[in-house]
């Protein structure tokens, strides 16, 4: 180790002392062309042949020690030729008298290759490329000061129709020209994951391998749309269709200044009489990114592509595909190299008139990206209150009041101003009424006889008290099953609230209720009680365990009469709990308890139960009307949920969210939480998305109200764009807030 240090110090001393010397040997330079001429629009290779005098060498383009001066060629484009890449030959590794350590060097004759392209329409004739060669000449004992010498390379250009003749000089084969052309390969992307269909694929192309600060770099998104699919154009003719939009989430210091979309084709399809503006086949979307005063390094750009794929008969669900790709910021002395696929930019019509939509910005340098930043910061805050959906000014200020007072906030619905005992009472009464339905009342004597209770039990010698107990255990089985279903839905299904907020879920419930209502009017027959006799449990008559099991089973087999009320209570309970009311956990059990109340008395042989008759048909029909009302409610809810997602002006929502910057809203969750922690301020997080119609209404009304603005003075206000609530990272963030049921969602936090 000591020997290595002494060697390095000695080498450095020799280099520094020799730097004062003047003159030194100069190499002989010549040009070796890969073809006798380059047709206009075509590419070719060439090489600068460098010959050092005998006994002298220069460092390679990648010296083994950082303090050594590398050999570097720089060539400028001219009006006929552009340089696509520069590649260096393989160096030698040798030891010299002034250093114990080996060095990477060129000596004698060596080549530096260039890849060039003749512009379309370039004039035929000889064209000179000019540039510089920087090097440091050394012999076995000392090195001269670095020098920069001018370089001129003359190449022939021919007409586009000319067939060139390749050089047979073997020296050209020692260079790997392809490496220079593919220095930074395009980023391949496959859009459409599992369940979406791989109907669109593509790649991101950079014009150069890097860009200096204060300059701009052009990017292209090449898309290949598989047959027979197409996607909607960027400016659809039908406002109801999903536009194709490319957005960029850029690190701090970068700005997207232009997006250029190709012209869409206007076509007519079988699913719609009116023509549509669409893209199909292969298309290219261009972007220009301006680079501010940022340090050199590799930065990660985040891209998002919004699109909807359709064929001639059907359209798939709209999707948002996310992808990342690196862009390198060069130092002041680094020269950008134009890449092999850069010709794609020749066909992009950049106008400068389009203002780019910005996705949520990411972190800066790739090595510093911390995707889990919010996971570290959120636990340092207490969640004071949460709410969802559109909220008028009075409700929103009440939400703030509840958070600040420590009482929280509940969106429990029409029972918010009622006592918990009132809610329990009406639920128990509802459960009690279920016993009067034709699916339950006629089979009560039968079930009592099966378990050894009731009038039949009295005849067989059972005591009244034992019959009361058997009926009570039977009813307890009903209550436990209903309560267990409630716990599973309310607590066990963490994503049930998000599922309940989907239009297809509400539409499914509406359809189910329509089927159940038809059963109430006897258009169809739904009767699960017939399965009770197939369970083989009758042999245990008189057993409390048997009574409990039969009660549990009867709760599940009660049929069409019980299902609508049970489903409605389960949905309402989950909604109550998601909005902060613990009553939601107990309501299903209360419903089962109400249904269980008559069973102990019936088991004791008391004949107070009404006799089945025509009045039950009327109750059944009345319940059918009641169930239809539920179906209409959930149908209306599903339509609103559908329109809030698919019939919303996404550009208007995006514009309203961007205008919120004027009122001091912050787009980054991590930045907002850090600011709140540093200044010890409360936080309001508004979770939104471009497909959320209620978000637009909130942005334009409640959040613009002066009363609300005054109340939010002193808050750090964060607008978090949760565009894909079912996918990471949005899913992970929203999962932290246990009362989330849909967008918009609001949370007030306080630093702990």
Torsion of CA 671, 677, 680, 681, to 10 degrees: 40
Instruction: Give the span between the Cα atoms of 550 and 223, in whole angstroms.
Output: 62
Q: Is the pLDDT of residue 652 over 50?
A: yes
pLDDT at 181: 37
Burial 712-725 (b: 16+ CB within 10 A, else e): beebbbbbbbbbbb
Backbone angles phi, psi at 392, to 5 degrees: -60, 170
Same fold, 187-368 and 373-409+648-751: no
Angle at 520 between CA 519 and CA 522, to 5 degrees: 60
Show me where the domains of the chain are located: 2-181, 187-368, 373-409+648-751, 420-645
Query: Is the link from the previous residue into 398 a cis peptide, with omega within 30 of 0?
Result: no
Which residue would you say has higher pLDDT here, 565 or 121?
Answer: 121
| pLDDT tens by residue, 353-369 | 433 334 343 332 222 22
Which tops the pLDDT comparison, 122 or 423?
122
CB neighbour burial string for 240-259, b if at least 16 within 10 angstroms, e if fewer? ebbbbbbbbbbbeebebebb
Each residue of 385-414: pLDDT tens digit? 988 888 899 989 999 998 898 877 766 544
Task: Check residue 125 and give left, alpha or beta (phi > 0: left; psi -120 to 50: alpha).
Answer: left
Q: What is the arithmetic mean of pLDDT over 53-77? A: 86
Q: For residue 556, what are the contacts with CB-CB under 8 A and spacing of at least 6?
A: 481, 528
* Residue 549 CA: distances (Å) to CA of 439, 479, 535, 566: 19, 12, 11, 20
DSSP letters, 300-319, are EEEEEEEE-EE-SS-BPPPE
Q: How many CB atoms lie under 10 A from the CB of residue 167?
A: 17
What is the SS3 assignment for 110? strand
Give the separation between CA 406 and CA 384, rounded to whole angstroms. 7
Contacts of 150 (CB under 8 A, 6+ apart): 130, 131, 132
Helix (H, G, I), strand (E, B) or coil at 99: strand
pLDDT band at 648 (very low <50, low <70, confident <90, very high): low
Q: Extract the tokens encoding 559.
A: 């049929």
Structure tokens at 539: 């042999």
d(CA 470, CA 210): 82
Q: Element (H or E) spanning 273, and its range?
A: strand 272-279
Domain 2-181 has CATH 2.60.40.1250: yes
Give yes or no for residue 214 having a pLDDT over 60. Answer: yes
Specify the CATH class of 373-409+648-751 in words.
alpha beta
Tens digits of residue pLDDT in 119-161: 988 899 999 999 999 998 888 877 778 888 999 999 999 998 8
User: pTM for the whole thing?
Assistant: 0.36
**Cα–Cα distance, 7 to 241 (Å, whole number):** 71
Instruction: Report the C-alpha gap between 697 and 716 in whole angstroms.
Output: 21
Residues in the chain, total: 752
Give me the DSSP letters along 530-580. GGGGGS--GGGTT-HHHHHHHHHHHHHS-GGGTHHHHHHHHHHHHHHHHTT
> What is the dotted CATH code of the domain comprising 187-368?
2.60.40.1250
> Lowest-pLDDT range, 188-197, 226-235, 357-366, 573-582?
357-366
* Three-class secondary structure of residue 408 per DSSP: coil
């Amino acid at each position: 180790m000591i020997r290595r240090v002494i060697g390095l110090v000695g080498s450095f001393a020799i280099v520094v002392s020799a730097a004062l010397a003047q003159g030194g040997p100069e190499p002989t330079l010549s040009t070796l062309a890969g073809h006798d001429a380059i047709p206009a629009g075509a590419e070719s290779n060439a090489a600068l042949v460098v010959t050092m005098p005998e006994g002298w060498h220069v460092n390679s383009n990648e010296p083994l020690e950082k303090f050594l001066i590398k050999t570097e060629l720089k060539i400028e484009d001219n009006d006929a030729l552009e340089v696509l890449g520069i590649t260096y030959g393989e160096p030698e590794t040798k030891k010299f008298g002034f250093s114990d350590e080996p060095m990477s060097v060129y000596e004698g004759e060596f080549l530096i290759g260039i890849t060039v392209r003749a512009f379309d329409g370039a004039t035929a004739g000889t064209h000179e490329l000019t540039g510089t060669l920087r090097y440091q000449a050394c012999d076995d004992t000392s090195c001269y000061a670095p020098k920069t010498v001018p370089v001129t390379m003359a190449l022939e250009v021919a007409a586009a129709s000319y067939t060139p003749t390749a050089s047979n000089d073997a020296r050209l084969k020692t260079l790997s020209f392809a490496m220079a052309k593919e220095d930074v390969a395009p980023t391949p992307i496959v859009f459409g994951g599992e369940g979406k269909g791989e109907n669109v694929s593509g790649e991101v192309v950079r014009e150069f391998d890097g860009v200096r600060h204060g300059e701009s770099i052009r990017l292209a998104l090449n898309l290949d749309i598989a047959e027979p699919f197409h996607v909607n154009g960027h400016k659809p003719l039908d406002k109801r269709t999903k536009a194709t939009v490319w957005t960029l989430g850029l690190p701090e210091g970068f700005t997207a200044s232009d997006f250029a979309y190709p012209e869409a084709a206007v076509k007519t399809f079988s699913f719609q009489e009116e023509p549509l503006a669409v893209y199909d086949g292969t298309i290219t979307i261009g972007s220009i990114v301006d680079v501010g005063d940022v340090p050199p390094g590799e930065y990660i750009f985040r891209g998002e592509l919004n699109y909807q794929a359709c064929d001639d008969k059907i359209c798939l669900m709209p999707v948002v595909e996310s992808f990342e790709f690196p862009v390198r910021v060069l130092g002041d002395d680094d020269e950008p190299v134009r890449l092999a696929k850069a010709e794609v930019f020749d066909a992009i019509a950049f106008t400068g008139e389009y203002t780019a939509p910005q996705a949520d910005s990411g972190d800066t340098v790739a090595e510093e990206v911390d995707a889990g930043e919010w996971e570290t910061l959120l636990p340092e805050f207490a969640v004071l209150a949460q709410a969802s959906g559109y909220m008028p000014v009075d409700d929103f200020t009440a939400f703030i009041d509840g958070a600040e007072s420590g009482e929280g906030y509940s969106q429990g619905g029409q029972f918010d101003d009622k006592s918990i005992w009132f809610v329990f009472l009406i639920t128990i009464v509802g459960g009690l009424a279920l016993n009067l339905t034709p699916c339950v009342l006629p089979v009560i004597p039968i079930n009592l006889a099966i378990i050894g209770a009731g009038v039949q039990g009295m005849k067989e010698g059972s005591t009244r008290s034992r019959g009361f107990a058997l009926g009570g255990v039977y009813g307890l089985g009903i209550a436990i099953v209903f309560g267990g279903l409630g716990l599973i839905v309310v607590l066990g299904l963490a994503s049930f609230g998000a599922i309940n907020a989907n239009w297809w879920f509400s539409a499914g419930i509406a359809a189910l209720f329509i089927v159940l209502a038809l059963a109430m009017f006897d258009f169809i027959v739904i009767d699960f009680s017939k399965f009770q006799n197939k369970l083989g449990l009758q042999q245990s008559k008189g057993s409390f365990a048997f009574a409990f099991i039969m009660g549990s089973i009867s709760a599940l087999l009660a049929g069409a009469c019980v299902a609508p009320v049970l489903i409605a209570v389960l949905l309402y309970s989950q909604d109550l709990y998601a909005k902060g009311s613990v009553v939601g956990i107990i309501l299903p059990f209360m419903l089962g308890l109400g249904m269980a109340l008559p069973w102990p008395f019936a088991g004791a042989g008391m004949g107070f139960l009404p006799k089945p008759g025509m009045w039950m048909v009327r109750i059944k029909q009345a319940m059918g009307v009641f169930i239809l009302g539920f179906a209409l409610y959930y149908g209306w809810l599903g339509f609103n949920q559908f329109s809030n997602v698919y019939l919303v002006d996404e550009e208007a929502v995006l514009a309203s969210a961007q205008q919120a910057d004027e009122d001091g809203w912050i787009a980054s969750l991590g930045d907002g939480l850090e600011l709140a922690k540093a200044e010890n301020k409360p936080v309001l997080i508004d979770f939104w998305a471009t497909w959320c119609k209620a978000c637009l209404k909130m942005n334009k009304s409640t959040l613009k109200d002066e009363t609300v603005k005054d109340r939010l003075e002193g808050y750090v206000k964060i607008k978090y764009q949760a565009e894909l609530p079912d996918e990471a990272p949005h899913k992970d963030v929203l999962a932290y807030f246990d009362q989330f049921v849909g967008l918009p969602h609001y949370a007030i936090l306080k630093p702990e």
